[in-house]
Structure 1
Amino acid sequence: MIKEQLNILINLAASDMTVGDHESKIIHMIGKANGLSKDDVDAMMKAPKPVGDLSVFSEDQKFENLYHLIQLMKADGQVFKSEISFCEEIAEKLGYKKGVVAELSSRIYSDPTITADRNMLMERARRFLK
């Protein structure tokens, strides 16, 4: 499951046609925390796969995907329209309405060491489930 989640993040990072250093570090950090080697993550970043069926994820997994996706979108300090559109597209594939991205994005920080109240964010996200 972690490879599918990382693949989504890699697709987002590449959606503005460049993967920034900070974005790459976050992707590697998430991969390492979930038992993937640097070489595994590098291989995935060199050849990202299309985003598949996300309906198989549990509600918690869907939220975690969305959380990390928004965090990565903000990682390089610049948010491009293409990144917002990609996040909204993935949010819909995860079963949320597009508006969840705007709702959560103001409360999710680009620095992974700064954490928001996950339970509060999950409750807010639930309001946007289809």
Structure 2
Amino acid sequence: MKTILIVDDTKSELDLMVHYVTQAGYTIITAQDGEEALEKTFANKPDAIITDWMMPKMGGLDILRQLKKNPETAIIPVVACTAKDRDVDRMWAKKQGVKAYVTKPCTKEQLISALEEAMG
């Protein structure tokens, strides 16, 4: 069973994503900010990460940059799950290495489809 790290600083959003991904049959790890996400990534090596883009301290882009610096974590696919819905945001995220992009609020189908796309 694949393990997914879900990162969001809004508890209701985090809970909803956990619900969707758990229903799809994945094992879940959660983090509520970027620093916690990095700690849990290095400790657990998840199969993929779903992260909010805008969070205090360290956002999704910062998480992605840190992961790309380490060969052990550079290959972990990242899904951006964010309220940013402009084409330029999507293009920038892809340029930075995001494998899939979904905007909030999202349905279970949209999130799982993005996750599966990211994991290839």
TM-score range, shorter chain: 0.3 to 0.5
- Please identify the structure whose Cα radius of gyration is greater: 1
Structure that is richer in helix per residue: 1
Q: Which TM-score applies when normalising by structure 2?
A: 0.43
